[in-house]
Each structure stands twice: as C-alpha cells, then as structure tokens.
Structure 1
Amino acid sequence: MWTRHHKERKLGRLILPAITAAFLSYFGYHSVHGDLGLIATEKFERMRLERAAQLAKLVQKRQALERQVQLLSDGSLEKDMLDETARYQLNVSRGDEIVIFNNYF
C-alpha cells in the first residue's frame, strides 16, 4: 500500500490572510472614499448647511413680502404704503423729497 506524503507548502498558509487583507482593504477604501463614505458625508453636511442658510434667507424674504402684502391688502388700505410702493415701482419722486433707496423687493 502506498501512502502519499504531501509537503507542506508555505504558499498555502498565506491564501486565507491574503484574501482577508484584500476584503478589509476593499471595504476600508470604500468606507472612506465611496459614495456613502466619510468624505461624501462631509460634503453632504456642507451642502446641508449651505442650503439651510439659503432657506433662512428665503424665509426672511418671504416674511417681508407677506408683511408688505398684508399692509397693501388689508381691509383698510394704507394710503402711505400704497403711495410709497407706487412711487418706488414707477421711479417717481417730488422735488422736495429726499430719496433713500432700500431694497424692499
């Protein structure tokens, strides 16, 4: 009866650690540089803060416009507000007036 003896190969012991290192490096790379990685998360956070600032400006502008509309469309229309808005839009002023430009619109 013949018995085969295999030599223990040094290469065979390195296969499992090599595969493990490949998987860890793949997932490690994508956890930092991937679409949902750390760098992308920082970018999304910066965009969220910029958009929140834009939203705050737009909300403030909308509230100012709503106040103006409320003054113009109330049951009692204020003649002073109507006169001011008409002059601003038509770019008309009297000779005895001092004009201070303020961006209402």
Structure 2
Amino acid sequence: MKKPSPFANTLRRAAVPATGLTLMAFFGAYAILGPNGMFAYGDYRRKLAAHERDYTALDQKRTVLRNRVALLNPDHANPDMVDEMVRKELNVTHPDEVIVPLK
C-alpha cells in the first residue's frame, strides 16, 4: 500500500477548516452587503421617512374628508356644503352666476 504524500495529507487536514472559513466569510459578507444587510439599513431608513411623509399627507386628507362627511350628515347637514355638492355633481347653475374653477 502506498503512503500518502505529506502534501496530500496537509490538504486533507486543511479542507474542513477551509470550508468552514469560506462559509463563514460568505455569510459574513452577505450579512453586510446583502439585500437585508447593514448597508441596506440606510436605504430602509430613507424609505421609512418617505412612507411617513406619505402617511402624514394621507392622514391630513383623511381629516379633511372626515370633516366633509360630518358636514354632510343627514341628521344635521350644512346647507352650504349640500348646495356646493349638488351644484358640482349635477352641474346646475343659475343663468346669472359666474363659475370660477379653483383647480
């Protein structure tokens, strides 16, 4: 039987630690550079800030709509709001009125 060479013996002994180090390096790089890694954290913070601005704008719109709904409540509707909505939806005006579009 042939004795393995010292070089082959050294390679065989170093294979398991080298594989372990390679796997650790891969997962370490992925934890830093990957899509959910540490470098992506800044992007997540920017996206969160943008979403919070959008949420604030939508919250203000919701407040305006909630107020308009309260003004159109059938129990105690605001006559001016009802008149405005009817004229807008039905496109009804008096002959002597001038319409000035706001938007």
TM category (shorter chain) comes to: 0.5 to 0.7
Q: Which residue does the alignment assign to 1:81?
A: 81
Q: Which residue does the alignment assign to 2:43?
A: 43
How far off is 1:60 after superposition? 1.1
User: Would the alpha carbon gap of residues 43 and 90 (structure 1) be closer, same or farther in structure 2, given more than 3 Å must change?
Assistant: same
CA shift digits 1:18-59 (9 cap, x unpaired): 678646643442232223212322232222222212211211
Q: Which residue does the alignment assign to 1:72?
A: 72
Q: Which residue does the alignment assign to 1:99?
A: 99
Does residue 29 (structure 1) correspond to residue 52 (structure 2)? The answer is: no
TM-score between both structures, scaled by the size of structure 1? 0.62
Query: What do you get for the CA RMSD once the two structures are aligned?
Result: 3.3
Unpaired runs of at least 5, structure 2? 1-6
Greater relative contact order structure (CA < 8 Å, 6+ sep): 1
Aligned partners of 2:31 and 2:78: how far apart in 1?
61
Unpaired runs of at least 5, structure 1? 1-8
Larger mean Cα displacement after TM superposition, 17-26 or 78-87: 17-26
Mapping of 1:55-66 within 5 angstroms? 55-66=55-66
User: Would the alpha carbon gap of residues 83 and 32 (structure 1) be closer, same or farther in structure 2, given more than 3 Å must change?
Assistant: same
Aligned length: 96
User: Would the alpha carbon gap of residues 34 and 65 (structure 1) be closer, same or farther in structure 2, given more than 3 Å must change?
Assistant: same
